[in-house]
Chains A and B, each alone.
Chain A
Amino acid sequence: MFGILASIIDGVLVGLVYGLAAMGLTLIWGVMDVINLTHGMMIVAGMMGLYLLAGAFDISPYFTLPPVLIGGFFVGVALYWIAVHRMMGRPPLMSLLSTFSVNLILVGLGTAIWGTALFNVNVSLPGVTIDRYTFPGAHILAAALAAVIAGLLYLFLHYTRLGKALRAVANNREAAELVGIPTTRVLAIAVGCGVALAGVSGMLIGTLFPFTILSGDGYQLKSFVVTVLGGFGNPVGALLGGVALGLLEGAVTPFVPVSWTLVIEFALFVLVLIAFPGGVFVSRRGAL
């Protein structure tokens, strides 16, 4: 019995990291109604950043967090100018296609350079043992870091001028422009933050599981499921959605082969979209 409970607790720990990844997706979604299909590749970029930096400088994997965060921000700003800026005010189909094409370019470059080899980053942290079950230290630390970053994002959105501007643009871009908010700059920053979050979550996932260049698809799908559970454009909901997904994964893994997990999650995605089109953890209307 405790075995299942342990699996669920571990699922929640990992779920917090998924929640962080989904926050990156939902931030962009909520602010400008753009679904970032490069999300999976940005998660992988975070993983590769972890692998390359930790390998090159022989530092603890967790010290790669600040460079991945900052690098991710600049990549996100670049992504805004390359793929998103021209799509503002055009049908949503177009921004889907443009981010999709950037994703293709990144996948193509990634596989051409690194192939599809499996990468692994060794993290040696003491775990916490209860009864016969050990919770890996890496899982606990990753979950804690994810929670801290999510908390910082919340503070940023609610208590800084820039964060408030971001929420204003999310609510009504024209009105925000009228009161003097430089919306284009704010949108670019929003994409920067979203990609930075994706990168950091990728870096954290990289300390938990081995990965390949193509791992992004699975995590991207998880992020969509989490976003749908948490409500669109709702970062706090995304964290809760991540925990819910982790709970589900933890409860399901002991009984079902791993390759089915994604299918179950996808079925959940469709069911939730049909049953609760606004998301499960939505208490009030209004983006962000």
Chain B
Amino acid sequence: MLRRPFFWIIALVVAAFVVLPPIGNNVELRESLALAAVYITLASNLNLMLGYAGYINFGSIVFFGLGGYICVWLVDAHGWPLALSLAAAGIGVSGLSLIFGFGILRLRGPFFALSTIGIVEGVQAFVENFKPWGGSSGIYISPEVFQPLGGPGPALWVIYFLFVTVMAASLYLSYGIKISKFGLGLLAIGQNEDAAAILGVPTPRYKALCYSASAFLPAIAGGLYFFKGAFVQPTDAFDLTLSTEAIVICMLGGQGTVTGVALGAYLYEELRGYLLTSSTFSNFQLVIAGALLLMIVSFFPSGLMGFIYSRFPRMQKILE
């Protein structure tokens, strides 16, 4: 892996994320890049399902929200340190989705997509009725939890670097899976599931593993996100906008590519920042996301990377 140029391209991007904001203590850039890192994390993990295995997961937000809940709850009610809570959130959500994956991934194609919509409803209803997690009013954590990280100010920097770490891990995970035998199996499932099964790809197991793997890092990102906000409640944690945006990003950048998804996430984050500040568009964010998705699906189904590959075929060898 170390000898492949793409490995170093990812390293360069991550280095830029690490180095740029601390120059001149640029807080505004940090917040913008933190959001971009969250988008990249969510989108590239969604891409494992959508781009590689060809399965749409409309409910990827569940991983993010549940991770947030587990982390905030452990920090608040049990006084666990942040690192341990994050690990618990990642492992817990990933484990749950592995168990769940074996059940719902017996459903194929569109049925799986439909059941992911149901999962969001199901998990949200569970959390709203679950007393230890504060029901529909959620959990607040006191600012004291930031003390071990050196107070609220420095804690934001620590959290930012953790976001970047999670993003880097997501990119390397996507890349690592893509060049592995597991990834080949997933791509085969995405092309033709029956043929893949006949050729000996253990399709149910691969799909469940992929589903579970795509849950791990978003759960940690969710933990960080809600820890940073010191507050988590069901309507925020399971806000379908975010998983929708992840789908738009995947399609915008080019599903199944690592570079495209990261690029799409960054572009979308910039676009969104612009739209939110202009008063005409801030109410119509969903409309714009929808129109963008419709345009991409109708006219450019292979996204930005498809365009780049067709113009510069050599790029296929360098940019995965």
Contact = CB atoms under 8 A, between A and B. Distances in A.
- Dominant secondary structure at the B interface: helix
A267 interface: yes
Interface residues of A, number: 41
B103 A101 contact: no
A108 B297 contact: no
B126 interface: yes
Contacts of B125: 259-260, 262-263
Contacts of A35: 110, 113-114
A3 interface: no
A259 B289 contact: no
A221 B287 contact: no
A133 B117 CA distance: 36
Interface in A74-111: 82-83, 86-87, 90-94, 96-98, 100-109, 111
Given A92-B109, A266-B121, A270-B107, A102 B115 contact: no
A97 B107 contact: no
B229 interface: no
Nearest to A265: B118
Interface stretch (B5-13, B214-222, B262-270, B278-286): B278-286
Interface string A205-244: 0000000000001101100100000000000000000000
A104 B107 contact: no
B122 A266 contact: yes
Given A97-B247, A98-B298, A274-B106, A104 B293 contact: yes
B56 A262 contact: no
B284 A112 contact: yes
Interface string B103-146: 11011011101110111011001101100000000000000000
A138 B288 CA distance: 39
A97 B114 CA distance: 12
Interface residues of B, number: 40
Contact of B287 (A94, A96, A100, A108): A108
B195 interface: no
**In this complex, which of A90, A100, A104, A218 has the most chain B Cβ atoms within 10 angstroms of its Cβ?**
A104
A273 B115 contact: yes
Contact of A269 (B118, B293, B297): B118
B54 A93 contact: yes
Given A97-B293, A108-B285, A269-B115, A221 B121 contact: yes
A66 interface: no
A220 B113 CA distance: 13
Nearest to B109: A92
Interface in B277-320: 283-294, 297-298, 301
Interface string A245-279: 00000000000010110110011011001100000
A196 B5 CA distance: 55
Interface of A: 35, 82-83, 86-87, 90-94, 96-98, 100-109, 111-112, 217-218, 220-221, 224, 257, 259-260, 262-263, 266-267, 269-270, 273-274
13 contacts: A90-B301, A94-B297, A97-B247, A98-B294, A102-B290, A103-B290, A104-B244, A108-B286, A108-B289, A109-B284, A109-B287, A257-B129, A259-B129
- Shortest 4 CB-CB distances between A and B: which pairs? A104-B290, A108-B286, A108-B287, A266-B118
